[in-house]
Amino acid sequence: MKTVYLDNNATTQVAEEVLDAMLPYFRDLYGNPSSMHTFGGQVGQKIRAAREQVAQLIGASPDEIIFTSCGTESDNAAIHSALVTRPDKKHIITSRVEHPAIRALAAHLAGQGYRVTELPVDKNGVLDLENLEKSMTPDTAVVSLMWGNNETGVIFPVEEAAAMAHERGILFHTDAVQSTGKIPINLKKNAIDMLSISGHKLNAPKGIGVLYVRKGTKFSPFLIGGHQERERRGGTENTPSIVGLGKACELAAQNMEKENTYVKNLRDKLEKELLSRIPQSRVNGDTGNRLPNTTNISFEFVEGEAILLLMNEQGICASSGSACTSGSLQPSHVLRAMGVPFTMAHGSIRFSLSIYNTAAEIDFVIDKMPAIIERLRGMSPFWNSGQQACKTQ
């Protein structure tokens, strides 16, 4: 059975060109970039080149790029540094829809005595900057807001938010894990102090990330050890993955516009057809301001995990907006923050596409989904009683 992979916000396929760029650094060029000999030194040169490739994609300087192990580490390192370098400030502002890499960290810090404000979003997942304005105080150390939401794709106005934070001397961090490579980012044109990237969301391997730290921003390392990354992150460099991420960033910079048009067209077709063929379905999130590859669709009165199981039987991979926590199926915190009604939130599916998807795959999914939802609704007491109620009204 063929796999139709529509779960690219979870992780992406490593691009062929990326793998090819990486392979020599496993096989032959395995020297330690910190070594004095030429064998290691040549690897160091390649790391410098990768740093430039990453910097190019986001409008940064190479020395503003710190390689990390993942997006989660980058997020943790950013918040950690903001708090350590501003020890007198005990307030953190974030949002209710952040990834756990920020949200769970903020909850942990709340337990350590920090005050955390989680900004709300409206029913479309949109952030109101007035709430940010009202929340900032002289005690605020850092504002951390994601650029693109991993579940709905909704884009936050992070450049405006960064400017607002800066006016008050507050540090601004953004989790750009989902938006890097999907929308243009130019850090020369905004006041963002720190930005997180994860390799495996943009066709580089898992286990590599970046934290951008604007020149002049005080930084305190999260991983303390050797002199790597100009004393900002200890640990021998993950050379093959750094080289791979550099290549992935180069490809993203070259192809972003063309690829986004292609992916957006497929996404829009999928969305339009599913909404028209499946009654009581709707899109979650601001459709006018989204990442081009993401759609989050609720199918009322069915359960997300059940939908995924039947999709899986057809070889279709996606994600559900509910998470099985401690035996009870809870709708995702993102959909709850948006106030999506319970019966809708439970049956939500995130489809996230990539350039590797084809029109034929999208047609296949459009063809299979209506029968999957119909079958599950046939078994749903809620759907059946809802239909009955409609008929008797």
Q: Please, what is the minimum distance in Å from the beta carbon of residue 14 to ligand PLP?
A: 14
Burial class (CB in 10 A: 0-12, 13-18, 19+), 115: middle
Cβ at position 78, least distance to ligand PLP in Å: 11
Residue of 198, 228, 238, 314 interacting with ligand PLP (CB under 6 A): 198
Angle between helices 381-392 and 359-379 (to 10 degrees): 80
What phi, psi does 282 have (nearest 5°)?
-155, 160
Amino acid at 194: M
By beta-carbon proximity to ligand PLP, the closer residue of 80 and 377 is 80
Residue 240 CB, nearest distance to ligand PLP (Å)?
16
CB contact burial 290-311 (16+ within 10 A = b; e otherwise): bbbbbbbbbbbbbbbebbbebb
Q: In what order do the strands lie in the sheet with 348-352?
A: 281-283, 294-299, 348-352, 319-320
Binding to ligand PLP by CB under 6 A, coded x per residue (else -) over 207-246, reads: --x-------------------------------------
- Is 177 a binding residue for ligand PLP by CB under 6 A? The answer is yes
Cα dihedral 179/316/324/291 (nearest 10): 20
* Closer Cβ to ligand PLP, 22 or 366, answer by number: 22
Query: In sequence order, what are the beta bridge partners of 91?
Result: 115, 140
- The reply to whether 175 sits near ligand PLP by the rule CB under 6 A is yes
Site track for ligand PLP across 11-50, x = CB under 6 A = ----------------------------------------
Quick one: 89 or 350, whose CB is closer to ligand PLP?
A: 350
Strands 91-95 and 115-119: parallel
Query: Least distance (Å) from ligand PLP to the CB of residue 207?
Result: 8
Can you tell me the distance from the alpha carbon of 333 to that of 344, in angstroms, rounded to the nearest whole number?
14
Integer Cα distance of 248 and 239 in angstroms: 14
Q: Which residues, numbered 302-341, are part of the site for ligand PLP (CB under 6 A)?
A: none
Say how far apart CA 12 and CA 180 lie, in whole Å.
13
Helix (H, G, I), strand (E, B) or coil at 132: helix
Q: Please tell me whether residue 145 binds ligand PLP under the rule CB under 6 A.
A: no
Assess whether 324 carries a catalytic annotation.
Answer: yes
Q: Which stretch binds ligand PLP (CB under 6 A): 83-91, 172-180, 216-224, 311-319?
A: 172-180
* Binding-site member from 51, 91, 99, 377 for ligand PLP (CB under 6 A): 99
Which is closer to ligand PLP, CB of 24 or CB of 207? 207
Residues in the chain: 393
Residues within the interface to ligand PLP (CB under 6 A): 70-72, 75, 99, 101, 146, 150, 175, 177-178, 198, 200, 209
Give catalytic residue positions: 324
